[in-house]
Structure 1
């Protein structure tokens, strides 16, 4: 298929990672997509330093804009970038990702065939020497298999590698910025997209390298936040669908722990499985922490109302 000529807007939220952002922009400058057929919209989510020196060297290689907002999280930053984007199609990635040369071409070719579909690409761990980053990517790969490959229609794509029509994205309200952390807002958008009756499609040739440096502490923190986001997702979904909160069945977790047995990895399968188990413990802790936090807020609000009415 010939290279498409659709104009694409690449939206990148960023916060306090200038070195990572520079590597991301370097990869974007090396894309095989015509430089006059895409723009890059960077939304600085309140970084303490000025990012213009990071962005400036790339301005003569691509159409690039830098928008600064007060710190409000990546969901709000993505929405701001989408609003300012000039193209009819939005392509989202993160500042710690390095797209492959054919990334935009792969998305553009599929958008020409299914312009109203929500597209998700394939993410590769750029830090295979980091055990915790490897385990984190294994979890994402499992989720893609569970929600996408094992079902007739895809149901989940992570926000660091997606493409969508701007008009439909804005019509649905974009990402929900009220999520407590950078966790779960992409899952909620996918669910809302499907509920609206739109198509989701996996594009495995739209590849990025994800360089998310993790330690044991940050691994736990990441999945604790995922747990908080999971509770918020289920709560929002239950209200939207007027149904009780539903969690995954037990086989979801048993299949997750045996997933590394099917994979080729530099680490023993059991070391990955142990970390996957730890990740789910962190998710459960985060889930119930958020549940208790919201109950406490509700009780406090009721007490304040009672005090005012008394």
Structure 2
């Protein structure tokens, strides 16, 4: 079998139904699907098994161990030569596996791949705005999969594939939560395995459905980056501090403008200069959002989504860095760290 699609699931039965429905339309048919229910209260067994007449799908329920170890559970039961990992809130384009199969046949040296995410036309304006904010060069600089990153590419587990031999060599996920996918990707590369971005292998990623959920999610991403640093000190690079710099700029621009005018005596037209880049950035996001989504309803939400993304990530990174690195406090949310084969050198 060519591919084993592995999906961890926790209390999201409606999402797995939509994901499985999208997989029934794959043009490439040599694949199986493994759904692993991670101790959910909302059981999706009947939903998954209802697809057995259209998909080669297996369902497992286990006690909750979080997403990293849940993917390991799926890897251990997979039959395919390649393991493809999706989040449950993704929709998969019909040509996805065909595109990946063609790329891997032309590039047999590849061990690990990742792909970008996009917004489906059926998404709400808010979902489209969040998707654009998370992939726009005006926020992340494309580091989440829109363009090739400097250095080796680190796939994210919402859209990632790993060969069976690479999994056997690496031992799978070392931690189950809080940056588990980046730690896994960095360790695979440290093993000397080849990781690539396949730009055409995109998925439609719903992410969060309101700004409060989105704020918590990106704050968590910021704290997770510090967790990865414990395993790979190089995990935090200058670009990861940019959201924190942006946060500092946002909280200081108004006091600075007032200070220039009232304390330093600058004319008003000059004292507003600290705010000008912020306004230009908002305008660029609005225009870029309209061009990317084709919707003014989504475009007007993009600046807010971008502000939340950068400030929440920056705050999470800063507070976690102070707590864990400077004050050396133990993070109780990490959980178990598995013993896995480590790279030499």
Query: Shared fold by TM > 0.5?
Result: yes
Which residue is equivalent to 1:111? 104
Contact 1:224 1:286 survives alignment (8 Å)? no
Rate the CA distance shift 1:177–1:207 in 2: closer, same or farther, 3 A. same
Give the Å deviation of 1:13.
0.5
Give the Å deviation of 1:190.
1.7
Match for residue 295 of structure 1 among 328, 337, 343 = 328
Rate the CA distance shift 1:169–1:55 in 2: closer, same or farther, 3 A. same
SS of corresponding position for 1:13:
strand
Which residue is equivalent to 1:155? 153
Give the Å deviation of 1:125.
2.5
Give the Å deviation of 1:121.
1.6
Rate the CA distance shift 1:212–1:270 in 2: closer, same or farther, 3 A. closer
Match for residue 216 of structure 2 among 218, 221, 225 = 221
Which residue is equivalent to 1:176? 174
RMSD of the TM alignment (CA)?
3.1
Which residue is equivalent to 1:138? 133
Between 199-208 and 7-16, the greater mean CA deviation after superposition = 199-208
Which residue is equivalent to 2:304? 271
How many residues align? The count is: 283
Match for residue 166 of structure 1 among 152, 164, 172 = 164
CA–CA separation in structure 2 for the residues paired with 1:276 and 1:13: 25
- 1:22-77 Cα shifts (integer Å, max 9, x gaps): 0000000111112xx11001111111133221112200111111111211111111
Larger radius of gyration: 2
Match for residue 129 of structure 1 among 115, 118, 124 = 124
Give the Å deviation of 1:124.
0.9
SS of corresponding position for 2:209:
coil
Give the Å deviation of 1:104.
0.8
Match for residue 39 of structure 2 among 34, 38, 46 = 46
Rate the CA distance shift 1:293–1:30 in 2: closer, same or farther, 3 A. farther
Unaligned runs of 5+ in 2: 248-277, 291-297, 332-345
Unaligned runs of 5+ in 1: 1-5, 299-310
Which residue is equivalent to 1:260? 285
Give the Å deviation of 1:79.
0.9
Which residue is equivalent to 1:248? 238
Match for residue 54 of structure 2 among 55, 61, 82 = 61
Give the Å deviation of 1:122.
2.4
Which residue is equivalent to 2:189? 194
Contact 2:131 2:205 survives alignment (8 Å)? no
CA–CA separation in structure 2 for the residues paired with 1:202 and 1:141: 17
Give the Å deviation of 1:82.
0.8
Is 1:185 aligned with 2:218? no
Contact 1:107 1:163 survives alignment (8 Å)? no
Which residue is equivalent to 2:72? 79
Between 184-193 and 209-218, the greater mean CA deviation after superposition = 209-218
Give the Å deviation of 1:131.
3.3
- 1:255-297 Cα shifts (integer Å, max 9, x gaps): 9985837833332464344223323344335524761798344
Give the Å deviation of 1:231.
0.9
Rate the CA distance shift 1:141–1:202 in 2: closer, same or farther, 3 A. farther
Contact 1:234 1:246 survives alignment (8 Å)? yes
SS of corresponding position for 1:68:
strand
